[in-house]
Amino acid sequence: MQETVQTPAKKKVVLSAIQPSGTITLGNYLGAVRNWVKMQENEDYNCLYALADLHTITVRQDTATFRKNLYDAYASILACGIDTEKSPFFIQSHVPAHSQLAWILNCYTQYGELSRMTQFKDKSAKHADNINAGLFTYPVLMAGDILLYQADLVPIGADQKQHLELARDIATRFNGIYGNTFKVPEGFIPKNGARVMSLQNPTSKMSKSDENVNGCVLLTDSDDVIMKKFKRAVTDNDAKVFYGEGKHGINNLMSIYSAVTGLTFEQIEHDFDGKGYGDFKTAVGEAVIAELSPIRKRYEEFVKDKAYLAECYAKSDEFANRLAQRTIDKCMKKIGFIK
């Protein structure tokens, strides 16, 4: 009897990128970066991670601050557990093919498609004095980021679904004209990714731009600062820990506590039955401190060692450039450019 030999399944290429706005927040960590670390350990995936610095300049940047933010963000991601030997973590602007493919794809994207992008409308309202062309064509650069590496999967937040759909539409359109060139990517929202809201305005996403500094927990915050921020977190008048409609503050704290401890909402409600919000806020603060403290210590080591950071991104940049060039060469040949 002939034995059937199974061919190992090909690993899926996963691409994720984050903008370098400095050290990351608790929301960045729980919502995305922690999942990056888990995915790099998954044998089913080949993960590629990027610092999307080209996207950042749609908003005017101070040169010195921007450069510092790049180093801070890179060090932060490494501190969270990204291993560049397993998962290349490159800097977008160090791979010229991103800008090159963005221009090409601009010519295969319709004005009407871009004008419907809700993030363009939102950002235009926030930056009314600088509604530049880059802000308008930003989603095409994002599409290029994805298609350049023939990504199978793109972890996304709910607010990025529209941009991924555009990337799929562009890839399908190009393939329809020239034949199979780009892999049409699939998006997925990781099950264990938490959407973290502001501690002071729990109907809004946690952000460093929050007017109230107590609304956002940073990776670089000391243990004392983290605890103070959680003790000042907005709640309600029920004084009972349970997940419910309209309980935005408590729901947010429960989501954070669940993400950090692994406990379900039912277990949390049971554990804090009969206890007040003060006890719960302290418990959430302690759990977050236990999670972030070792990361902060690694970050403080990495950010001081620019030679080490350069070594990490140089190797990753080289790998990314090789992959990207294959796609650019294929794309340009299909169109008819002379090599």
Residue 202 lies in a domain: no
In this prediction, the residues of the chain whose per-residue pLDDT falls under 50 are 1-8
Residue 113 lies in a domain: yes
Catalytically annotated residue among 12, 68, 208, 240: 208
Count of structural domains within the chain: 2
123 is catalytic: yes
Transcribe 189-245 into DSSP letters. --TT---PBPSSSTTSB--TT-SSGGG--BTT--HHHHHHHHHT----S-------T
Give me Rg for the CA atoms of the chain.
Answer: 22
Side-by-side strand order, sheet with 186-188: 89-91, 45-51, 12-18, 153-155, 186-188
Whole-structure pTM over 0.85, yes or no?
Answer: yes
Which pLDDT value is given to residue 193?
62
What CATH number did the domain enclosing 275 receive? 1.10.240.10
Which pLDDT value is given to residue 230?
97
Residue 3 lies in a domain: no
Which pLDDT value is given to residue 4?
44
Paired strand residues for 91: 51
Give residue 109's Cα distance to chain centre: 24
Distance CA 49, CA 151 (A): 11
CB of 5 within 8 A of CB of 271? no
One domain for residues 158 and 234: no
208 is catalytic: yes
One domain for residues 94 and 232: no
Which pLDDT value is given to residue 273?
92
Tell me the residue length of the chain.
Answer: 339
Which pLDDT value is given to residue 258?
94
Which domain does 277 fall in, by range?
Answer: 213-302
Catalytically annotated residue among 12, 68, 183, 205: 205
DSSP 8-state code for residue 76:
H
Nearest to 36 by CA among 12, 11, 14: 14
